[in-house]
Structure 1
């Protein structure tokens, strides 16, 4: 089926191009989302008359999206989930969870704007692309951890925290506390 694109569609084409797509893709996605029109003589004529207006609207939406992308640059969100000792999640983190976390940070993002190919099924730091406009996207750092304290440690170390790391940190804290208590005893005795 031949269609006229009303906006840029990733891996398909630019606004105004006539492209051939499978009928189901056109009927179920492109036409209902108003991303395309059927390529008939009447629709081609209609597009030519509306082309300047469509381009102006697209330019305005793109400018707004670039403004938001500038504010979102470097955004990191924390998602807490239960996980096994090995770091595998009991469940997963999907696009809806990430969209809710970004929205909680003051940006309006729908789940279909989060470009995540597979759900996240382990603890750690992940870069996820958020598509604000067909021509504008921004990367968001997603920190999946068991708790906020663990998320801070992951952010500092730049990777997943294992049970052994938590144990080592606890031992260091206990050793530091013991050393501080030993110093206090020395000053009391003096």
Structure 2
């Protein structure tokens, strides 16, 4: 035990003597006019490039590529199964999936455009209603009526939710719009007459 105390005393005296020498060397350098630059290295930021498997509020949408801190990925995203590390193979799969989706969107749009030209070249659809005074008709012509007429004449199924009609309460010619695609709208004519 005594030897340890002696050792610690002697080491502290050694540091004191060394400290005095370091201070004198620093003062000599400053007297000569040489500047020393101390460069500290920054702590490396540890991030991971990931792809989200689910929508995460405050972070991103499903399929989005992000850089997140390694600890956040390791401690939250990975155990919850909400993200996956991006690899070259995964990037290639994502790219192929995006190309497939774009091709499908293009095909659906072309199909909608063909259907729009069919609807517009047919001419006017005729709607019969029981007549009242003058040009008045009993009831109104609804989207379901137009869908039934299209089904009967063209053998095409159309959802009534895509049909936009003005309020029809008298005989005459009207224009209805069919929203076949977000970018394609077909305009069809309706001839309403009383029987």
Name the TM-score, length of structure 2 as normaliser. Answer: 0.49
Q: 2:180 — aligned with what? A: 132
CA RMSD of aligned residues (A): 2.5
**Aligned match for 2:120, one of 69, 73, 79:** 73
Task: Report the CA distance shift for 1:44/1:80 in structure 2 as closer, same or farther (over 3 A).
Answer: same
Task: Report the CA distance shift for 1:38/1:122 in structure 2 as closer, same or farther (over 3 A).
Answer: farther
Q: In 2, distance between residues paired with 1:119 and 1:108?
A: 23
**Corresponding residue SS for 2:169:** strand
Q: In 1, distance between residues paired with 2:108 and 2:180?
A: 9
Say which is worse superposed, 68-77 or 54-63, in terms of deviation: 68-77
Task: Report the CA distance shift for 1:39/1:91 in structure 2 as closer, same or farther (over 3 A).
Answer: farther
Name the TM-score, length of structure 1 as normaliser. Answer: 0.50
Shift of 1:44: 4.9
Q: In 1, distance between residues paired with 2:192 and 2:55?
A: 43
Shift of 1:61: 0.5
Greater Cα radius of gyration, structure 1 or 2: 2
- For CA contacts below 8 A with separation 6 or more, give which structure has more relative contact order: 1
Q: 1:45 — aligned with what? A: 64
Q: In 2, distance between residues paired with 1:94 and 1:84?
A: 18
**Corresponding residue SS for 1:73:** helix
Runs of 5+ in structure 2 lacking a partner?
A: 1-53, 66-90
**Corresponding residue SS for 1:43:** coil
Q: In 2, distance between residues paired with 1:64 and 1:110?
A: 16
Q: In 1, distance between residues paired with 2:148 and 2:55?
A: 35
**Kept in 2: contact 1:74–1:141 (CA 8 A):** no
Shift of 1:63: 0.9
Runs of 5+ in structure 1 lacking a partner?
A: 1-36, 148-190
Aligned pairs, number? 109
**Corresponding residue SS for 1:89:** coil
**Kept in 2: contact 1:126–1:141 (CA 8 A):** yes
Task: Report the CA distance shift for 1:128/1:42 in structure 2 as closer, same or farther (over 3 A).
Answer: closer
Alignment of 1:7-156 (within 5 A): 40=57, 41-45=60-64, 49=94, 50-75=97-122, 76-106=124-154, 107-116=156-165, 118-147=166-195
